[in-house]
Amino acid sequence: MPDPAVNHLLASLPSKDRLHMIAGCEEVEHVVSEVLFEPGDRLRHVHFPTTVLLSLATPIDGSNGIEVGLVGDEGMVGTPLALGIAITPLQALVQRSGASLRMGAAPFRHALGHRPALRQLLDRYLFVRMTQLAQAAGCTRYHLVEARLARWLLMTQDRAHSNAMHITHEFLALMLGVRRAGVTKAAISLQRRGLIRYSRGDIEILDRPGLEAAACACYRVDRAIYRRVLGSLDGTARRATHPASPLSTAGSGGRATRPLARSSAAGSRGGPSP
Ligand SMILES: [Zn+2]
């Protein structure tokens, strides 16, 4: 099982870069429904999730919008800073309570400029995020709610490392960009097929292979692109595996250590209850 204190991106770095980054981070705890940032906010930090699960959503016509990304210990948020842009177009909402490693914008930018392995790794991560955004656009337009719900549950399980999760119809409808009635119908169907158990927001995945079969192809496409560009998500091979990647031979692949600093998520704001 993956160490819950590890973020896959940080764990992929050569040891000297990994230790530098971890030393520059503080561990912050996040609670469900907390909003890390809103569209238009100035980014003051990047976050490398370790146990927290974050939904990235884009507003549509002034509404709450729709989820365009789900980020856990495989990724990071605050990616505009990696492109030299301090303003975010997205909302980041805590979907599952947990911790992240937080680094200030200035030391992050400094590290990017002085650590080529970090620069290369995050360039590759940005590429993965771009392809996942494109996939999400097609998924929302063409795939049925039931298949999208199955995909979303699998993505959540991958990042939460748990078969059980708590999520309400209202929050699911927001994430999937559909009416609550549509989510209810899809959840009932998955339950009747014996794939999940759903009761008052408590969801348990009963049949992982069956749920994978029920999910749209986007789930496999997203995993494949991540694995191809950044390495395995199974918790054993954390280094990029592309043969041309300078990262393919970099780093020890060892475990990150927990940072010394710990603080609350100062400056966070409460969001809508799920
Ligand atoms: Zn899809």
Which pLDDT value is given to residue 61?
78
| Cα-to-centroid distance, 142 and ligand 1 (Å) | 7
| Cα-to-centroid distance, 119 and ligand 1 (Å) | 30
Q: Which residues, given as ranges, of the chain have pLDDT below 70?
A: 1-5, 64, 233-274
Measured CA to CA in angstroms, residue 9 lies from 82, 124, 233 at distances of 14, 10, 10
Q: Judge whether 113 and 54 are in contact, CB under 8 Å.
A: no
Residue 63's Cβ-count burial label (10 Å; 0-12, 13-18, 19+) is exposed
Q: Which residue in 264, 265, 268, 274 sits closest to 38, CA to CA?
A: 268
Which pLDDT value is given to residue 233?
61
| Cα-to-centroid distance, 253 and ligand 1 (Å) | 32
- Determine the Cα–Cα distance for residues 80 and 71; give it in Å rounded to an integer: 15
| Cα-to-centroid distance, 138 and ligand 1 (Å) | 7
Measured CA to CA in angstroms, residue 1 lies from 9, 96, 185, 188 at distances of 17, 19, 34, 31
| Cα-to-centroid distance, 248 and ligand 1 (Å) | 30
Q: What is the pLDDT of residues 163-175, one digit of tens each?
A: 999 888 888 888 8
Give the predicted TM-score (pTM) of the model. Answer: 0.81
| Cα-to-centroid distance, 209 and ligand 1 (Å) | 17
């496409």: which residue's tokens?
221
Q: Judge whether 60 and 19 are in contact, CB under 8 Å.
A: no
Which pLDDT value is given to residue 265?
37
Kindly list the strands in the beta sheet with 196-199, ordered across the sheet, starting from the edge strand earlier in the chain.
164-166, 202-205, 196-199
Write the DSSP symbol of residue 60.
S
Helix pair 218-230, 145-160: axis angle to 10 deg: 40
| Cα-to-centroid distance, 148 and ligand 1 (Å) | 6
- Around ion ligand 1, residues with a beta carbon closer than 5 Å are 139, 143, 216, 218
Handedness of CA 244, 246, 250, 255 (dihedral sign): negative
| Cα-to-centroid distance, 88 and ligand 1 (Å) | 25
- Determine the Cα–Cα distance for residues 143 and 161; give it in Å rounded to an integer: 25
Which pLDDT value is given to residue 167?
86
Q: Which residue in 231, 7, 221 sits closest to 133, CA to CA?
A: 221
3-class SS of residue 27: strand
| Cα-to-centroid distance, 133 and ligand 1 (Å) | 11
| Cα-to-centroid distance, 73 and ligand 1 (Å) | 22
| Cα-to-centroid distance, 118 and ligand 1 (Å) | 31
